[in-house]
Structure 1
Amino acid sequence: MSPREIFALRDYLSPELKGRTISDAHHVVSLTDVLSHTVLGGRLRELAGRSVLLKLSDQLKSGLAMIELDGVARRMLLCPPDLNPDHLDALIADAEIDAVVTDDPGQWTEKAIALIVTAQLPLSASAPAKTERATEWLMLTSGTSGLPKIAAHTLEALTGAIVAEGPARGSAPVWATFYDIRRYGGLQIFLRAVLSGGSMVLSDPHEALGDHVARLNERGVSHISGTPSHWRKLLMSGAAAKFAPGYVRLSGEIADQAVLDGLKAAFPTASVGHAYASTEAGVGFAVNDGLEGFPADYVGTVSNGVEMKVVDGSLRIRSRRIAHAYVGRNATALADCDGFVDSGDMVELRGDRYYFVGRRGGIINIGGLKVHPEEIEAVINRHPDVRMSRAKSRKSPITGGIVVADVILADGTDPARAKEIRDQIVTQCRAQLASHKVPAVVRFVDALDVTPAGKLARSDA
């Protein structure tokens, strides 16, 4: 987008495109109504040119507020639902927030915020808004227990991969995601729904998985994304048998061969693939050949405006889709002097393919040796009776540390086979892993914790 031609989300909501909706478990809103209605009580003009923090209790009001604010506000900071309230003051200062959009105005009475605007449903009639400026989109990074970093994007960067793919073919898609749209992965799906002329069905953290799938079917969802942990939970639930999307995508975690094969078996007619993206690096690439990892020739070439290289085992990305800066009083450089973002995702070249082995910051220590738990889990998950696993370290008075693996067995597995399966898992690990990576303890569990971002929760015992 050139400075002379600035587009906002509302510019993709043509009133001629009837039947488009955005819905959650409680409401269905016509996307075309957004052009002449407001979720902000008619107070959009008061937010023009301001730095706005969006702190709302649900995704639907958040998505509608994003559409209204884009092209009007100077910047907007998207707050995920699990944001630590102790971080709010620092984030408000770093993002120079001077207005808040909320559905709980009482929460802000003690804050020194110039303007508080309440978002509410149902929508009320309002004069159509005009696009005035390129709004800066601020998103919080995940994966840290401390103060999250604020990454700044333009709408052009956020939608670069969507625009590159071109318009949707055939009938308008109905999109859904297990992500929250206030996180990068979920926001990508929300933007795809708006730009593709489709509809969007939002998740609800309080909804039982079976009820969620029933609602996805009722709304005719055709395209859906989530983390591998999201998909493993669905496969374990048995609800996948009642669902038949045509487009299935994974992102946010390593997509190992077991989960890719499981999804292909569950949805044999669907296009199943995995994508690489992060809040800082933007959308990097997609892999649609049914295999884990990605072809080696993705590195060192420019494809769809994305260039990648591997430095000391870490994947680095340069493109117009990356965030343009960290925002804040102590913000560091987001990219290096050549414009590459260090993703922190470690890869390993095996033959003609790169494989993800884990996060640089997620390494566990086993007797002084560094181990990526995801590498161990990928081997365990290949066992036909395993649905999901998590590897972690535990202190040992003899070796200093051992690997402990918590494993969820596939539905219908005979409990009497527990010892047999445990022995097979250990044998499989010994055949494919270095000795210090082999689990000393394999425990069968009923569930594994997943973070609000949909990723496997990791902490050493």
Structure 2
Amino acid sequence: MTDGRPDWIHPAFRLIEGEEVFGWADLAALPMPAGGVVQADRPSRVLAALAAAEAAGQGVLLARGGAESAGWQPGQGFSVTLESSGTTGTPKRLHHDFTRLRGRLRGVTEEGARWLLTYDPGAFAGLQVMLTAAAAGALLVAVPSSGAGTIAALAQAARRHAVTHVSGTPSFWRAFLMALGDADLPLAAVTLGGEAADQPLLDRLAERFPHARLRHIYASTEAGALFAVADGRAGFPAAWLDAAPDGLALRIADGVLEVRSPRAAPGAVNADGWLSTGDLVERRGDRVLFAGRLDGLVNVGGVKVSPEAVERRLLAVDGVADAAVVAVPSPITGHLLTATIVPVPGADDSALRVALRAATADLPPAARPRALTFADHIPLSAAGKKSRKGSQ
């Protein structure tokens, strides 16, 4: 720590939060709430709270509004408690050692780097972006809001500040591409995380930003930062099941990916150190591909169906800018699948409907959406994801 500045904040780091600009001195001057509980709705509050908690040698809870903070205790020593997004259920709290939390961050200075914060500041992914920018001495651009900011506002901020580094969920990127239109961005790095990256989207991003480094990251609040894939292909190499990178071990148990990682939250692993990610995967040739969430499976007439797997079928159809497949209750079959489609500008609705039906024609009847609705956008949560609540 130098003059009160923690060593993980580079002296050149700057944060633009709406119309406000923060350097280290400005962050250090922010008032800190008592008890170690911080409402993690702004990156300035989160970074200032982390620095203050480290200096005091106590824990900090980055509250996202999903659970009551009463009864939480900071404990002894500096640590960070994160709340999961609750996208598929009740939010959970995970306790992280700060050093472990920063395990895969490089902190390499890149001259002129300007990051756009698209994630909730209190989310694991948002924290990773903020810590990366802070350690590298980059400029971090944020849009204050109740969540991560509207896509239109983020696109406007990206153009205004000519951002060079953007990390977001695949759902965010689809909406962001539509909001950008033909606007040019000098992107040097395009990163995806928080959801499985599909091949059509990776191909679109590679074509749209040919000079940017393209990678998708696999991480979670429970597991920490696990690995990054930078070969432009969906999923990850099947060879990693035998020899995974970065000190990891990976295996498939009953179709679900399990990991053993030095960066996992201690309370999230079993007695042998393994963590079930809850992600369904399929090994196809030299690749392991993601096939939805185990807790996202729904019963349609006695058949277990993954709405996310069906959704990826629809996303691969020409003329589809975005899609969301959800399950709705049915008194006869338990559930039915429905699909909301965002067409690309100028798409012919009738021809697109035919193509969408054809894309799912070989699926079991239970996995075919019974209704197709066209819309101009698909709502996202503060975590930048499509909500799956209510589909069980």
| Same-fold call, TM cutoff 0.5 | yes
**Aligned length, in residue pairs:** 387
Superposition TM-score, scaled by structure 1 size: 0.77
- Give the partner amino acid of 1:25: G
Tell me, in whole angstroms, the C-alpha distance in 1 between the residues paired with 2:41 and 2:121: 12
Structure ID, larger Rg = 1
1:152 and 1:177, CA in 2 relative to 1: closer, same or farther beyond 3 A? same
> Once the 2 structures are TM-superposed, how far is the Cα of residue 213 of structure 1 from its aligned partner?
2.8
Tell me, in whole angstroms, the C-alpha distance in 2 between the residues paired with 1:76 and 1:64: 11
User: In the alignment, is residue 135 of structure 1 matched against residue 65 of structure 2?
Assistant: no
Identity value in percent: 29
User: In the alignment, is residue 29 of structure 1 matched against residue 22 of structure 2?
Assistant: yes
Tell me, in whole angstroms, the C-alpha distance in 1 between the residues paired with 2:213 and 2:88: 36
Which blocks of at least 5 consecutive residues in structure 1 are unaligned? 99-132, 326-333
The one of 436, 445, 458 aligned to 2:366: 436
Contact persistence 1:241–1:266 (CA under 8 A) = no
Tell me, in whole angstroms, the C-alpha distance in 2 between the residues paired with 1:397 and 1:65: 50
Which blocks of at least 5 consecutive residues in structure 2 are unaligned? none
**1:260-409 matches, cutoff 5 A:** 260-325=202-267, 334-395=268-329, 399=333, 401-409=335-343
Contact persistence 1:396–1:402 (CA under 8 A) = yes
In structure 1, what is the equivalent of residue 49 of structure 2?
A: 65
In structure 1, what is the equivalent of residue 137 of structure 2?
A: 197
Tell me, in whole angstroms, the C-alpha distance in 1 between the residues paired with 2:240 and 2:160: 39
The one of 27, 34, 37 aligned to 1:53: 37
- Give the partner amino acid of 1:60: S
> Once the 2 structures are TM-superposed, how far is the Cα of residue 54 of structure 1 from its aligned partner?
0.5
SS in structure 2 of the partner of residue 63 of structure 1: helix
**1:5-154 matches, cutoff 5 A:** 10-13=6-9, 17-18=11-12, 20-31=13-24, 33=25, 37-40=28-31, 52-55=36-39, 57-80=41-64, 83-84=65-66, 87-88=67-68, 91-93=69-71, 95-96=72-73, 134-143=77-86, 148-154=91-97
Superposition TM-score, scaled by structure 2 size: 0.90
CA displacement 1:77-111 (0-9 Å, x = unmatched): 0012xx14xx32xx331x2259xxxxxxxxxxxxx
SS in structure 2 of the partner of residue 76 of structure 1: strand
Contact persistence 2:124–2:221 (CA under 8 A) = yes
Contact persistence 1:23–1:60 (CA under 8 A) = no
**1:401-420 matches, cutoff 5 A:** 401-413=335-347, 417-420=348-351
> Once the 2 structures are TM-superposed, how far is the Cα of residue 274 of structure 1 from its aligned partner?
0.8
SS in structure 1 of the partner of residue 355 of structure 2: helix
Q: Which moved more, 1:255-264 or 1:21-30?
A: 255-264
Tell me, in whole angstroms, the C-alpha distance in 2 between the residues paired with 1:259 and 1:268: 14
Contact persistence 2:328–2:391 (CA under 8 A) = yes
Contact persistence 1:158–1:282 (CA under 8 A) = yes
- Give the partner amino acid of 1:450: L
Tell me, in whole angstroms, the C-alpha distance in 1 between the residues paired with 2:81 and 2:320: 39
The one of 169, 173, 176 aligned to 2:113: 173
Tell me, in whole angstroms, the C-alpha distance in 1 between the residues paired with 2:247 and 2:119: 26
Contact persistence 2:79–2:97 (CA under 8 A) = yes
